[in-house]
Structure formats: structure tokens, C-alpha cells
Amino acid sequence: MMPRTLCTLTALIALCFNAQAQFSVKYEIPLPRSLQPAPDTVSAVFIGDVMMHARQLEYDCTRFLEPVRDMLTDADIAVANMEFTLAGEPYTGYPAFSAPDRYASYAADCGIDVFLTANNHILDKGAAGLRRTLGVYESMHESRGIQYTGTAADEKADTTINPLIVVGRGIRIALVNFTYGTNTEGSAKWPSVRKASKEQVAADISRARDRGADFIVALPHWGDEYILRHGKWQEEWAGWLVSQGVDLIIGAHPHVVQDTAVIGKVPVIYSLGNAISNMSATNTRLELAATVRFVRHHDGSTEMLLPELTWMWCTLPGMLTPGYATIPVEPYLGRRDEWINPSDYDNMAATYQRVRNATGIH
């Protein structure tokens, strides 16, 4: 004799088959959630200003980002603001940056896929310095697939990489990078730097849409340096960018973390701060990384999840390690005894609390 449950189930199945045979009724039973196709998800991580001050030139740059390498390599796309030129020797720091080519190569080794180049220091060595920088980046693109945006060597490159469309798992993400200005102006039309012109930025956003972008990320270089709250000009521009249809705004330049907002449904991170530098002024060593997940569901709809923010700290030589290192803050809280110079731990902990309180980011 069959168990009652199995008997009942058999009867139900027979009933369904008989009903289908008699009435040609098709039953569509939803798959359990565990059996539904998984959505396609692309993770992108954004970090702030990658800098090379004169004192950094004295140390092994291949240690600078090691503590956050996994975060960068684990992401499908990693994006960084490269705030220096590759103008060749002599290598120089502030106020006119020229870093060794190996620095960009190391950044790529750490998992950075996209270099943002629209910033106020990109013309520090004039048009010739920018031209050489873009030549290095083009070589890295050909040999390693590294991409860049925010500048262009000529008109053909300009229409190709501004905006830059990056694709992961069929999801198309447009990166629109521009700067409020440059410290030195170029005299020739090419190479060019994307400036904060609403006409030009609107054209880039429109081009992104025409190219089938699922999401548009605006990456402005803007704001007042060393100020923990965004300014009126940034807020006006952020509102305008939202009106143009961007999905996310992540800023750089102030060298400190600034507050965040949501305008309409668009997250705005006004400034990530420095990723790696020799700065020691108040608040300049605390920074953010923003991880964003872009999703395409099995029904074809898309969704961007809210950014996840990771606090980081740039340790200077002789503080935690012999050289420079960018570390995630929270895993290191409570580990003061590991510091070579424990006063730097105290500085990190105090800055962490102070900036969180001032910006409202918790």
C-alpha cells in the first residue's frame, strides 16, 4: 500500500494530466526562488586620489596599496583617480607631478582597470607631458586592457573614450569624467582635458545613452580642498547631473572625505578623499572606497544597489609599516600595539570619529 501522501500526490499528477488532455490547459508553475536563474551582477569599486609626492618617490611604490589589493582585485571593475602625469624624468612631486611609469603599472597590478585622468594636475608638465602620459596609457591598454577616460590625444580617441563604456556580464556602464579646471592651461586643441562644461558633459551623457548604457556614472573633479562638507557649486552641479539622467555621482579633488546625499534616487558621494599620498594635513589621510553593484535580473530589468562605503587610512613611513600603506580602518581598530608609532593609531581613530561626525557618514 502506498503512503497517503504519495497516493495523494500521484492522484494530483494524474488529475493534472487528465485535465490537460481533456481541456488543453497549460499550467505554469513558478520555479522556487532557489531554482530561478541568478541575476547578473557587476561590482565596481571606486577609490580617490592616487598621488605621488616627492617623498613617496623615495619608497618602494609596490607596497602602497597592498593592504587593499584584495578589495580592488575582487571587484569586476576598479576605478581610480590618477592625479599625476607620466611625463618622464626628472620625476617630481607637488606642485608639478611627474611619476615613474612603473607607478601606473603597479596600480594595474593591484587590479585597477580604469584610470580617471580629468583632474587639475594632468597638465602639470604641459601638453607634452599629457601626450606622453596618454601614450603610456595607450600602451597599457594594448598590452593589458587598461582603460582611461577624461582626456584624449585626438578627436578619434575623444569620441571613443569620453564617455568610457565598460561592460561586465552584458551590463554596460558609462563613466563620465571631467574636472573644474587644470593648474596649467594647454595652448593646443589636442591633447584635450574634459572640463566642467555643461554643454560638453550633456553631450557625453547623451552619447552614453545612445551607446546603450544601462547605467551612467558621473565622476567630477570638483569642490573646495580640505572642506568636509560639499559646497554650493557642487550641489548645483549634482542637481543638474541628476536632471540629465545620471545614476550615480562620485567626486574627487578636495583631498578629504566629504558628506553624501541622495538627490531624487541618485546617490551622491561628494568626495572620496585621497587613496594614497604624502599629505599629513588634518583629515587628509582618511578616505573612502565606494563599492557599487549593478544588477540585471532574469526578467531583463536592471537595478543599482546603494554604494557600500569602506573607510581607509593612509599610513606614512615609520608609522605602521616602514613605508607607505593604505589600510582599511575598521579591521585595524583595537590593534594599537601593532603600530611602530602608536600615536599614528590614535590619530587614525580620532580622525575616523571626527570625519564621520562632520560628514554624517556612519
Express each pLDDT in 285-297 by its tens digit: 999 999 999 999 9
Query: Is-contact 296 39, C-beta < 8 A?
Result: yes
Region 301-317: mean pLDDT is: 97
The whole-angstrom separation of Cα 329 and Cα 146 is 28
Q: State pTM to two decimals.
A: 0.89
Residue 10 pLDDT > 80, yes or no?
Answer: no
Region 291-314: mean pLDDT is: 96
- When pLDDT is cut at 50, 70 and 90, the band that residue 2 belongs to is very low
pLDDT tens-digit readout, 224-271: 999 999 999 999 999 999 999 999 999 999 999 999 999 999 999 999
The whole-angstrom separation of Cα 40 and Cα 32 is 18
pLDDT tens-digit readout, 317-342: 999 999 999 999 999 999 999 999 99
The whole-angstrom separation of Cα 263 and Cα 243 is 10
- When pLDDT is cut at 50, 70 and 90, the band that residue 26 belongs to is very low
pLDDT of residue 36: 54
Cα radius of gyration (the chain): 25
The whole-angstrom separation of Cα 18 and Cα 7 is 16
Residue 13 pLDDT > 80, yes or no?
Answer: no
Question: Residue ranges per domain, the chain?
Answer: 40-359
Residue 31 pLDDT > 60, yes or no?
Answer: no
pLDDT tens-digit readout, 158-216: 999 999 999 999 999 999 999 999 999 877 889 999 999 999 999 999 999 999 999 99
- When pLDDT is cut at 50, 70 and 90, the band that residue 105 belongs to is very high
Q: What does the chain come to in residues?
A: 362
- When pLDDT is cut at 50, 70 and 90, the band that residue 37 belongs to is low
The whole-angstrom separation of Cα 331 and Cα 259 is 23
Map grid coordinates 570619529 to a residue: 353
Cα angle for residues 139, 134, 106 (degrees, 5° grid): 60
pLDDT tens-digit readout, 112-155: 999 999 999 999 999 999 999 999 999 999 999 999 999 999 99
Average pLDDT in the chain: 91
- When pLDDT is cut at 50, 70 and 90, the band that residue 39 belongs to is confident
- Selected from 3.30.420.310, 1.10.3720.10, 3.40.50.1220, 3.60.21.10, the CATH number assigned to the domain covering 40-359 reads 3.60.21.10
β-strand pairing of 274-276 with 40-50: parallel
In order of 319, 334, 335, the CA distances from 339 in angstroms are 6, 11, 8
* Residue 170, helix vs strand vs coil: coil
Residue 152 grid cell = 584624449
The whole-angstrom separation of Cα 149 and Cα 179 is 12
pLDDT of residue 188: 80
Residue 315: which H helix or E strand, with range?
Answer: strand 308-315
Query: Is-contact 264 234, C-beta < 8 A?
Result: no
